[in-house]
Structure 1
Amino acid sequence: MTSKKRRQAPLAIEPRKAGVLPALAAALFIAAGPAASALPSDGAAGGDALTICADPDDLPFSAQAGDAKGIYIELGGEIANALGRPLKTVWSQTYFGKRAIRETLLSGKCDAYIGLPDSKNFMGPKLIFSKPFLRIGYALVSPKAQGASSLTDLAGKRVAVQFGTSPELLLADHGDIQPVTVLDPEAAMKALAAGRADAAIIWGPSAGYLNKTLYQDAYSVRPASGEGMQWPVSVGFARASGDLRDKIDRVIDEKAEAIAALAAKYGFPQAEPISLTAAASAGGSKPSIMLASQEKPASETAPATAHEAAAPAPGSTALTETPAAAATPASAADPAAIAAGREIFNGTCSHCHGPDAIVGQRRINLRLLSQRYSDKMDEVFHYTVTHGRPDKGMPNWTGVFSEDDFSKILAYLHSVQQN
């Protein structure tokens, strides 16, 4: 995953171009940005070819140029060979996550999308998934001589973490560990190599690939287990492609050894996961909107969105004006509204406020809105999303989202408040 795509705005987690499209993730896509567009394929889609969609510049997952094609492209070749079909690739930028899926897979431009998060919450009933073929997520990276294998081993150490990710949130609860905040895995690995960090907890696939290709395997790269740390990934299909999904399920079983070999080839962490038990956070869950190839930490320079946004700056006159009627949150007892609000939030707001509103910085932590504004929370929220905060870089979302959308987002935020 390249650093130019990993600024967030992941993912997916995550910039982050978004890895597990959180990733894969994990965040998470700028609504005002241009839509992802399909690039020329390696050949015309159609006929008997198995056509997959992939990002042209996202090693270790996929690449259009160079000798290294990436694990997803090579796996696509294995699957196509097993099915007796040639492989064709439609190249499409995945930075915008779900939009990329809509404009490629769901538009009939490809038969399958390798590397989507294995979650029913990912785009709902529009997609179906193969059985998982891999687990990806964050990893603890340390010099081999150091042998760090727990948070206890990191006490007193400088630890690089990506901005807006679960590991950053984890370290926020450990005052005995000094965080070194970076925007992407490349910067973290450079900090390790330059002696500016003693260890790192970063996106595992990128860390492993960089360790293998640039750092002569100088580091131990171990998967970190815990809530919000690892996710299963699958092959995604349009809902009508059940027959193809069933065939590829059988191939995944048959190719288990080949898949493991590809993971090793591209440096994916292979060691037994280590437990970072404090990784779980209140109400935390995996960032379901990230593409599985992505990990998208929020950029420090990214504009504030709806809810730090929702907090007028000290001395601001925003709330002295007469606001439009505040959005009425859908009933907190309505699981469907809360789920819909979560999906909208993770598709846009999480760029700055983290997947599922989980973020390490208190000033943009939207789980604290009720503490800040009490019974004014709804009013502040609605005024901010319908007026914006130009001084903070937040746009006016009127016309982008409907009042019903605002209501669902607010219902979701009410469901995760830390009182």
Structure 2
Amino acid sequence: MATGLLLAALGSPALAQQDTPAMRKALRVCQDPNNLPFSNTQGEGIENRIAEVFGKALGLPVTYYSFPQRLAFIRNTLRYKLPGEDYPCDIVMGVPAGFDQVSTTKPYYRSTYALVFPRGKGLDQVTSSAEFLRLDPAKLSKLRIGIYDRSPASEWLSRHGLVERGVPYKMMNADPQQYPGEIIEKDLASGKLDVAIVWGPIAGYFAQRVKSPALAVVPMQSEPGIRFDYPMAMGVRYGEREWKQQVESLLESRRTEILAILKEYGVPLVDESFSAPGK
């Protein structure tokens, strides 16, 4: 999920001035322009919707600074500053908790990778990753399982002797028109794949969008040494303590609205106990 970036703590006088909430004239959000279900330039993503909730609570308009979430996303958005100019955006709405390229808030949801497959194709009895592995070996040996490279799914297939069943997709694609849900919306829906293993919000959202065939979403539980579930937070620049506290206050006061948005988008939500076997 997180791109590889360099850690930089910013603590200049200009930063301290920017941290004064009363001076904000807009909620300026760093976003990927084509990254549903999280964000896009049409404001259709989960993070767009939550940003609008925050903007309303703050009494501020919401503006976006867009940059493809490939390598160097944080450096080119949250930390981007030309001499004599202000930062173009002040918050990243979704980062893994503890992501060290930003100062992260407390987590506001936890999700997990999920199996996605068409209903009525012989997999309807599968309600967990353990049940998937208990399928008849002859059936497993014929499945085409779409995964993103360097994801926990690729390690999971290797551990369980299913490497040859995997169909790898690039985690980082230079094509700005590519989006993470293509693996479901195009290849799984068309029958090119039998199963896809993707990050939960992507699984839930695109499974809802595909009307035919109907798709099942099965959350995957972590195993010793393979972690599927992660808590997600928001990120601000290092040194902006007051702004971070204000964002955390919004996360708490708007918790009900945020949860409703996550559920509307089909995000599989799990609690911390879900990851216990993987610790």
Identify the match of residue 147 of structure 1 among 110, 125, 149: 125
Contact 1:161 1:201 in 2 (8 A): yes
* Equivalent residues of 1:222, 1:272 under 8 A apart: no
One-letter amino acid of the structure 2 residue matched with residue 83 of structure 1: L
Aligned residue identity for 2:200: G
Aligned mate of 1:59, from 36, 41, 53: 36
- Which residue of structure 1 lines up, in the alignment, with residue 165 of structure 2? 179
Q: By how many angstroms is 1:160 displaced?
A: 3.0
Q: Measure the CA separation in 2 of the matches of 1:179 and 1:198.
A: 10
* SS of residue matched to 2:129: coil
Counterpart in 1 of 2:63? 88
**Which of 196, 200, 214 pairs up with 1:218?**
214
Matched, 1:199 2:195: yes
| TM-score under structure 1 length normalisation | 0.49
After TM superposition, give the deviation of residue 76 of structure 1 in Å.
0.8
User: Is the Cα–Cα contact under 8 Å of residues 151 and 276 in structure 1 kept in the other structure?
Assistant: no
Whose strand fraction is larger, Structure 1's or Structure 2's?
2
Q: TM-score normalised to the size of structure 2?
A: 0.71
**2:252 & 2:41 partners in 1: Cα distance?**
27
* Counterparts in 2 of 1:147 and 1:259: CA distance versus 1, 3 Å: farther
Query: Alignment partner for residue 72 of structure 1, among 47, 72, 80?
Result: 47
Which whole-Å CA distance do the structure 2 matches of 1:135 and 1:72 have between them? Answer: 15
SS of the counterpart of 2:37? coil
Larger radius of gyration: 1
Unaligned segments of structure 1, at least 5 residues: 1-21, 30-45, 286-419
Paired letter, 2:116: V
Aligned pair count?
232
Q: Is the 8 A contact 2:111 2:270 kept in 1?
A: no
Contact 1:224 1:275 in 2 (8 A): no
User: How far 1:54 moved relative to its partner?
Assistant: 0.7
Q: CA deviation at 1:188?
A: 4.9
CA 1:181–1:189: 2 relative to 1, 3 Å: farther
Equivalent residue, structure 2, for 1:132: 107
Residues 189 and 179 of structure 1: CA distance in aligned 2, closer, same or farther (over 3 Å): farther
Matched, 1:105 2:78: yes
* Shift in CA distance, 245/190, structure 1 to aligned 2, threshold 3 Å: same
- Supply the AA of the counterpart residue of 2:262: A
- Which residue of structure 2 aligns with residue 230 of structure 1? 229
Q: Aligned residue for 2:148?
A: 162
In structure 2, distance between residues paired with 1:254 and 1:276: 27
Give the unaligned 5+ runs of structure 2.
Answer: 6-22, 82-86, 170-179
**Which residue of structure 2 lines up, in the alignment, with residue 258 of structure 1?**
257
Give the fraction of aligned pairs with identical amino acids, expressed as a percent. Answer: 27
- Structure scoring higher RCO (CA < 8 A, sep ≥ 6) equals 2
User: Could you say what the CA RMSD is over the residues aligned between the two structures, in angstroms?
Assistant: 3.1
Question: Residues of 1 paired with 2:52 and 2:256: CA distance?
Answer: 15
Give the 5 Å matches for 1:108-123: 108-119=87-98, 122-123=100-101
2 CA distance for matches of 1:276 and 1:238?
Answer: 29
Cα distance change, pair 239–275 in 1 and its aligned pair in 2 (3 A): closer
The 3-state SS of whatever aligns with 1:225 is coil
Distance 2:219 2:104 in 1: 24
Structure 2 residue aligned with 1:249: 248
Distance 1:165 1:257, change over 3 A: same
Q: Determine the C-alpha separation between the residues in 2 that align with 1:269 and 1:162.
A: 19
Q: Which amino acid aligns with 2:49?
A: E
1:94 and 1:100 in contact (8 A); partners too: yes
Report deviation, 1:104. Answer: 2.0
Query: Does the Cα contact within 8 Å between 2:32 and 2:67 map onto a contact in 1?
Result: yes
In structure 1, distance between residues paired with 2:214 and 2:270: 15
